[in-house]
A and B are shown apart, each in its own frame.
Chain A
């Protein structure tokens, strides 16, 4: 129980971890449901048709007669024929068969019964297809909404940020510990709304009669809740948007906490340009959360008002403008992409430097590019609406600004590469994930240029190309950086080491699985496979099969990662204070840190100077080499005592 009322940022971080990973599992299950449905839709349709054919064949065969295939083909594919025309044509075939083969027992077809049976079968098939589509629509909506609102956005700031931010500052806690706990409760509250929606939708699917008991559930709008569909569908839009509204509070409270902590709790000798880059990234993220989340809040409130009161802000029939909804929505949701990726970049900056044993290259550029991305992120929302009918001028402006984001992003990538150049690189699992991040982010970023190019965008709009692009950028990058951070700080969080070998195998499966799943989607999308469809023409089946295969590898990999972590908790070796030889302040305290984090707050020096840490084989960790400590630190230590 003490956990549920804890004000300790470390425990809140771990509470977040349990919750977020649970919802990641839920979102992941729906991802697999989608991929399996997409791998089998043709077979499924074939089975349905086969069953109908058997039903109908039974009617015809009841006379112990053989029905020629040609006649059956006509019966099942009547085309534009009226029943009378069909009857004439089928009679012709039967007569023809009888003429060719006098011994055949040609049936006398009861066309009234046949038509009835066929109509019933078609209706049955339509119902099944409708159910199939409903399940698909609800699954992709829940997959998207759960993953975006419950996993990717909070994952790094709420779990890793909460845990390491005060430690990196050398502080005892975040500025407002009670607000921090409140933020976790907001998160859980919002999540309950989502799970309620999900549970109702799925139960309605499994037991259709339940819908009469508790009404429509589920959500089939996509995670974007676009009007006018979201005001008309009979699914639980209000519950879901209400949940997202509450989640927004969680996001805002965390951001307020981070900004106040970074401003007020920095030790005197940690100037802004001596903060670890992770803190810069979290700071930039918090700024975006502060500026963007309230706009989402008002958008969702307007949507709820529209749905409940029909106020006509977004309904053209009442003078509203659905495009305004998109402007509002993307004013939040595009910056939200940077809420997802900026902290990821912070983690990668830390990991790349530590595992290359080299000072980070271009510190100020990385720090400033975080802020540049945060600012530019607010000016590019219109690129989600190139095909919405907004003016060409707006399109062109948004296209240009969107491409500008490539500059600070590329600055970071080049700085990471330069940091690795001539470094003594250790390929431990955090580093592998960080390298995976660079790979995926580069692919995702470069394909982003395709998406930002107006003419190309028209072609690839709403195809799997877009699906692949945002999975590479949002999932690939965030997930990989999240895993990098989790492996990097795991010893600090739990005081246990994990099996490095199995962690690396896990990385390999995740990396291969991810690329197999999503790279093929670029090709599929460029060929024209639209997104958000439960069925498709045969041409795309092979791509969907490969993609589904990749997603299964990815699943195995992620479960392996989970088992590595659980194994580490149960059987792991005691972790040293500093297993990687990093120099940011969290590594100056024991693992896991005590309640108030530090016995003596360590003096902050250059966080990327590793020269005075020495490997000590007995403890399998690094210890401070007093003799080679910088003079500054010695001077400060002297002043303290």
Chain B
């Protein structure tokens, strides 16, 4: 035991017997760490599930404001970068230096692309006033929130930077206007959401106290009907009760928290890939030593995987 290996590997730490053992340990450690990442996002998925369950109409309504096309493009960008990352691991294992550098560069570019598109999305949300926090969210500024005319004004203002005085008819066709706004965003084929026939559902009002996980929930006779969606019909702002309109913010709180935390992870991943890129240009990695590339690759795939869940939950489900 403890014999000095004649082919002594400079990357082998003193407390490991073989490079294989060291490599496997690193992998075990990384997988365990990734499990913690999944569980951390699990809390947010849980919050999403709870509030979607308690306020389904609100989610159906609010998700119209997200740009599915941009989301889809981002999904493709991230998936592609995942491919180049996986390929980079292979290139490192085979000692293909130039290929490795190129693939890492492409992966990093994917990260930049993703964050760039994310920035465009966030900026447009901000312009629309769809932002976290009671101070900034337009639905809490009582005049714009309680009065749909001003809401439309706010949305249009965000688009044109030019205050439009909405006509009185506009209150009757808010969804049309939102669709117009969506078309300006090249968001043509926005699927229509559905609403229960009876717009006055019996979902408990949130400001009466805890809902959802409390005994109050599920006790009202109308609840079952609220989930049956017997007739498809476009969802408009007027269909929402005042309480539900207040709750529109909740969708965006969850949207920003989930995509925000995911975005931070993308940034961390980009920093790691940048570090790999520098090291790979110095020729550090090769068939004997590629563990960092492998581990960062695993991390990048997890980031990708989480997005794969975020995209349909936030953008697609109606």
Interfacial residues, chain A to chain B (CB-CB below 8 A): 166, 171-177, 179, 252, 255-257, 259-261, 263-265, 290-295, 297-299, 301-302, 305, 309-313, 316-324, 327-328, 388-392, 596, 600-601, 640
Q: Looking across the interface, which residue of chain B has its beta carbon closest to that of A298?
A: B43
Given A257-B29, A319-B249, A322-B210, 4 new contacts (CB under 8 A): A256-B29, A311-B253, A318-B249, A319-B243
A327 & B213 in contact (Cβ 8 Å cutoff):
yes
**Chain A: minimal CB distance from B275 (Å):** 15
Q: Which of A293, A298, A601 contacts B2 (CB 8 A)?
A: A601
B interface, CB within 8 angstroms of A:
1-2, 13-15, 21, 24-26, 28-29, 32-33, 35-44, 46-47, 50-51, 54-55, 58, 132-135, 206-216, 243, 246-247, 249-250, 253-254, 256-257, 261
B35 near A290 (CB under 8 angstroms)? yes
**Residues in chain A near residue B261, CB distance under 8 A:** 298, 301
Q: How far is the CA of A390 from the CA of B215 in the complex (A)?
A: 5
Q: Give the interface SS of chain B, mostly helix, strand, loop or mixed.
A: helix
Q: Which 10 pairs of residues, A with B, have the shortest CB-CB distance?
A: A298-B43, A294-B40, A172-B15, A173-B15, A264-B25, A294-B39, A319-B247, A311-B253, A319-B206, A260-B29
Task: Collect the chain B residues with CB atoms within 8 Å of residue A297's CB.
Answer: 40
Query: Could you list 11 A-B pairs, sorted by A, with CB under 8 Å?
Result: A265-B21, A294-B36, A310-B133, A311-B257, A312-B249, A312-B253, A318-B206, A319-B250, A391-B214, A392-B215, A601-B1
| B253 / chain A contacts, CB cutoff of 8 Å | 311-313, 318
In the complex, which residues of chain A have a beta carbon less than 8 angstroms from the beta carbon of B208? 316
Say whether B1 contacts A600, CB under 8 Å. yes
CA distance in complex: A294, B42 (Å)? 9
Q: Is the CB of A264 within 8 A of B21?
A: yes
A335 and B16 alpha carbons, distance in the complex (Å): 32
Residue among A301, A321, A389, A596 making CB contact with B50, cutoff 8 Å: A321
Indicate if the CB atoms of B214 and A260 lie closer than 8 Å: no
Residues from chain A with a CB closer than 8 A to the CB of B2 are: 600-601
Mostly helix, strand, loop or mixed at chain A's interface?
helix
B133 to A311, Cβ gap below 8 A? yes
Q: Which of these, A320, A388, A391, A600, contacts B206 with CB under 8 Å?
A: A320
Considering the chains assembled together, what is the distance between the CA atoms of A322 and B250 in angstroms?
Answer: 14
Whether B209 and A318, one on each chain, are in contact in the complex, defined by CB atoms closer than 8 angstroms, is: no
From B33, B134, B210, A310 is in contact (CB under 8 Å) with B134
Give the docked Cα–Cα distance between A252 and B133 (Å). Answer: 31
Known: A302-B43, A302-B47. A389 touches B1 (CB 8 A): no
Q: Within the assembled complex, what's the spacing in Å between the Cα atoms of A320 and B206?
A: 7
Q: Are B206 and A177 in contact (CB under 8 A)?
A: no
Asked if A310 and B135 make an inter-chain contact with CB atoms under 8 angstroms apart, the answer reads yes
Q: Please name the residue on chain A nearest to B58 by beta carbon.
A: A319
Given A260-B29, A291-B39, check contact A298 B44 (CB 8 Å): yes
Q: Is B207 in contact with A316, judged by CB distance below 8 angstroms?
A: yes
In the complex, how many angstroms separate the beta carbon of A153 from the nearest chain B beta carbon?
Answer: 16
Residue pair A265, B213 in contact (C-beta under 8 Å): no
Instruction: Please measure, in the bound complex, the distance between the C-alpha atom of A328 and the C-alpha atom of B29, giving whole angstroms.
Output: 25
CB distance from A312 to the nearest CB of B (A): 6
Contact B36 A259 (CB under 8 A): no
Distance A390 CA – B253 CA, assembled complex (angstroms): 24
Write out the residue numbers on chain B whose beta carbons fall within 8 Å of the beta carbon of A295: 39-40, 42-43
Q: Out of B14, B37, B207, B211, name the residue touching A294 (CB < 8 Å).
A: B37
B29→A316 contact, CB < 8 A: no
> In the assembled complex, which residues on chain A have CB atoms less than 8 Å from the CB atom of B54?
321
**In the bound complex, how far is the Cα of B39 from the Cα of A293, in angstroms?**
9
Would A172 and B14 count as touching, CB distance under 8 A?
Answer: yes
Whether A256 lies near B33 (C-beta < 8 A) is yes
Which B residue's beta carbon lies closest to that of A259? B32
B48 to chain A, nearest CB (A): 10
Please give, as numbers and ranges, the residues of chain A lying within 8 Å of B209 by CB-CB distance.
316, 389
Complex partner residue of A265 from B25, B207, B215, B246, CB under 8 angstroms: B25
- The contact of B213 among A171, A252, A390, A392, by CB within 8 Å, is A390
A263 nearest CB neighbor, chain B only = B28
**Could you tell me the distance in whole angstroms from the C-beta of A177 to the nearest C-beta in chain B?**
7
Chain A, Cβ-Cβ closest to B50 = A324
Report how far A587 CA is from B14 CA in the complex, Å. Answer: 22
B23–chain A nearest beta-carbon distance, Å: 10
Q: Which residues of B contact A171 (CB under 8 A)?
A: 15
The docked-state distance in angstroms from the alpha carbon of A310 to that of B133 is 5
Q: How far is the CA of A606 from the CA of B29 in the complex (A)?
A: 28
Query: Closest CB-CB distance, A329 to chain B, in whole Å?
Result: 10
Q: Which B residues touch A290, using CB under 8 A? A: 32, 35-36, 39
Bound-complex Cα distance A392 to B215 (A): 8
Taking CB as reference atom, which chain B residue is nearest A255? B32
Instruction: Pick the residue among A260, A299, A302, A316 that contacts B32 (CB under 8 A).
Output: A260
How far in angstroms is the closest Cβ of chain A from B248?
A: 9
Q: How distant is the Cα of A392 from the Cα of B132 in the complex, in angstroms?
A: 35
**How far apart are the CA atoms of A291 and B47 in the complex, in Å?**
17
| Chain A residues whose C-beta falls within 8 Å of the C-beta of B1 in the assembled complex | 600-601, 640
A327 cross-chain contacts in B, Cβ below 8 A: 213
Measured CB to CB, the closest approach of chain A to B131, in angstroms, equals 9
Most-contacted residue by chain B among A174, A294, A640 (CB, 10 A): A294
Given contacts A255-B32, A319-B51, are A311 and B206 in contact (CB under 8 A)?
Answer: no
| CB atoms of A389 and B250 under 8 A apart | no
Are B25 and A320 within 8 A (Cβ)?
A: no
Q: Is the CB of A318 within 8 A of B215?
A: no
A311 to B40, CA, bound (A): 18
CB-CB < 8 A to A291: which residues of B?
35-36, 39
Alpha-carbon distance A327/B1, docked complex (angstroms): 51
CB atoms of B246 and A319 under 8 A apart: yes
B233 to chain A, nearest CB (A): 24
Q: Is the CB of A389 within 8 A of B35?
A: no
Q: Are B212 and A389 in contact (CB under 8 A)?
A: no
Q: How far is the CA of A310 from the CA of B288 in the complex (A)?
A: 51
Residues of A within 8 A of B37 (CB): 294
- Structural contact, B28 and A259, CB atoms closer than 8 A: yes
B14–A596 CB distance below 8 A? yes
- Write out the residue numbers on chain B whose beta carbons fall within 8 Å of the beta carbon of A316: 206-211
Which of B25, B43, B250 contacts A312 (CB under 8 A)?
Answer: B250
Q: Which listed residue, A261, A322, A324, A389, touches B47 by the CB 8 Å rule?
A: A324
Assess the B40–A260 pair: CB atoms within 8 A: no
Residues of A within 8 A of B26 (CB): 176, 260
Contacts of A324 in B (CB 8 A): 47, 50, 212-213
Contacts of A321 in B (CB 8 A): 50-51, 54, 206, 210-214
A282 CB to nearest chain B CB (Å): 14
B25: which of A260, A388, A640 is its contact (CB, 8 Å)?
A260
- Closest chain A residue, CB of each to CB of B215: A391
Q: Contact partner of B36 among A172, A174, A252, CB < 8 A?
A: A252
